[in-house]
A = this chain, B = another copy of it.
Amino acid sequence: MAKDRKIDVVILGLLAHEDLTGYDIKKQIDGAISFFWKGSFGSIYPALSDMEKQGLVKRKKADATGGRGKIIYQITKKGKDTLKIWLNDEKVTNDLKYETLLKMYFGGSEDRRVTIRNIEIFEEQVKGNLEILKVYKENLEKVLDYEDHIHFYLTVMFGIETYEAYLRWCKKAKKILKER
Interface residues of A (CB under 8 A from B): 6, 9-10, 13, 16, 32-33, 35-38, 83-84, 86-88, 90, 92-111, 114, 117-118, 121-122, 125, 147, 150-155, 157-158, 161-162, 164-166, 168-169, 172-173, 176-177, 180
Contacts and interface: CB of A to CB of B under 8 A. Distances in A.
Contacts of A98: 36-37, 94, 96
Interface of A is mostly: helix
Copies in the complex: 2
A147 B87 contact: no
B105 A13 contact: yes
Contacts of A176: 150, 153-154
Contacts of A162: 162, 165-166, 169
